[in-house]
Amino acid sequence: MMTALLVMIGLALLLGIVLGYSALKFKVEGDPLVDKIDAILPQTQCGQCGFPGCKPYATAIAHGEADINQCPPGGEPGMRALADLLGVEPKPLNAECGTPKPKSVAVIVENLCIGCTLCIQACPVDAILGAAKQMHTVIASECTGCELCLPPCPVDCISMVPIPEKVDNWKWRYPVIEIKSLAV
C-alpha cells in the first residue's frame, strides 16, 4: 500500500518535472502562426479571398475569421498545405472566390496606353513602371498576375497573358502508364 502510494507520488513528481522542463525548454515566442500561413500563401496579393492581401488573409485564418479554401492562386495544393499546417480537413476551393487559372502576367498594349497612372496605383507589388502622360510598362518578372490593374484602366489596354511553357521552365510530367488488362 505504502510502496504503491510512494511510486505514484514519485511518478507524478517525475512527470511534473519533465512537463515543466519541456514547457520552459520548448517555449514558443510570439505568434508564428500568421507567418507560417503567410509563407504558404502565394503572395499574389490579388484580394480574391476578400481580404486586401495575403498577410491580412493569413491573419484572418489564424484568428479563425476566414476559411482555408479562399485562395484560387494557391489552388488545391495551397489549400492542402494550409489544411496540413492547421490540422483541419481539406475542403474544395470556394468557387465564389474564383477558380485557379494558369499563371499569367499583365501586358500593357503600349500604343493604347494614355499614361493615366491608375494601374500603377493599383499594382500591389509596384511592378508597373511609368509616369503621368508617359506610356507605362509591366516588369514581367515582378508581376504576380493578380489582375488588380485591369479594372482601373480607362482604355482597357492591359491584358493577362498566360506564361508559355518554354525549354527553361518546362517540367517533366507525371508518368502515366496505366495497368492495362492484358486479356480481359
Partner 1 sequence: MSLFKFHGGVHPPEHKLKSTAAPIRSVTMPLRLVLPLRQHVGNVAKLMVAVGDHVLKGQLLAAPDGMISAAVHAPTSGTIAAIEERLIPHASGLPDLCITLNADGEDRWGDHQPLDYQAQEKSAVLDALRLAGVVGLGGATFPSHVKLRADDAHPVLTLIINGAECEPYITCDDLLMRERALEIVRGIEIMQYLLGAKHAIIGIEDNKPEAAAAMRLACSQNSISITVATVPTLYPGGGAKQLIKVLTGLEVPSGKLPTTIGVQCFNVATAYTVHRFIDHGEPVISRVVTVTGRVAQPGNYEVPLGMEIFDLVQAAGGTADDSNGLVMGGPMMGFNLPSGHVPVVKGTNCIIASAPALFAPQPPAMPCIRCARCAEVCPVNLQPQELYWFARADNFEKARSYDLFDCIECGCCSYVCPSRIPLVQYYRYAKSEILASDKARQAANVARERNELRLARIAREKEERAAKHAERAVGARAEAGGDAKQAAIAAAMARAEAQKAEIVPQNVTDLSPLVATEIKAIDARRGKVDDRD
Partner 2 sequence: MNQAPYISASPSVTSIMLRVLLALVPGIAAYVWVYGSGVLVSLALASITALGSEAILLHFRQRPLMPFLMDGSALLTAWLLALALPPLAPWWLVVVGTLFAIVIAKQLYGGLGYNPFNPAMVGYAVLLISFPAIMTQWPVPLALAHAQLGFLDQLHFIFTQALPGGVTLDAISSATPLDYLKTQLKLQHSVGDILHAPVFGALGGRGFEVVAGAYLLGGLYLLQQRIISWHIPTAFLLTLAVLAAGSHLADPAQHAGAAFHLFSGASMLCAFFIATDPVSGPTTPRGKLLFATGVALLTWLIRSYGGYPDGVAFAVLLMNICVPLIDAATQPRVFGHE
Using the rule CB under 8 A, is 89 a contact of partner 1? no
Confirm if 161 and 109 have CB atoms less than 8 A apart. Answer: no
Question: Measured between alpha carbons, how far is 20 from 28 in angstroms, rounded to an integer?
Answer: 14
Phi and psi dihedrals of 168, rounded to 5?
-85, -15
Select from 11-19, 59-67, 120-128, 148-156 the region that touches partner 1 (CB under 8 A).
Answer: 120-128
Using the rule CB under 8 A, is 184 a contact of partner 2? yes
Residues 21-80 that bind partner 1 (CB under 8 A): 38, 41-45, 53-55
Question: Measured between alpha carbons, how far is 58 from 66 in angstroms, rounded to an integer?
Answer: 9
Helix axis angle, 54-62 relative to 33-40, nearest 10°? 130
Name residue, grid cell 477558380: 99
The item of partner 2, partner 1, none sharing an interface with residue 53, based on CB under 5 to 8 Å by kind, is partner 1
Residue 19 CB: number of other CB atoms within 10 A? 9
Select from 48-56, 66-74, 127-135, 173-181 the region that touches partner 2 (CB under 8 A).
Answer: 173-181
Using the rule CB under 8 A, is 179 a contact of partner 2? yes
Residue 87 CB: number of other CB atoms within 10 A? 6
Nearer to partner 1, 75 or 114 (CB): 75
CB of 122 to partner 1, least distance (A): 11
Task: Report residue 130 as a C-alpha cell.
Answer: 511609368
CB of 182 to partner 2, least distance (A): 5
Phi and psi dihedrals of 16, rounded to 5?
-60, -45
CB of 172 to partner 1, least distance (A): 4
Binding site for partner 2 (CB under 8 A): 175, 179-184
Binding site for partner 1 (CB under 8 A): 38, 41-45, 53-55, 124-127, 142, 144, 165-175, 177-180, 182
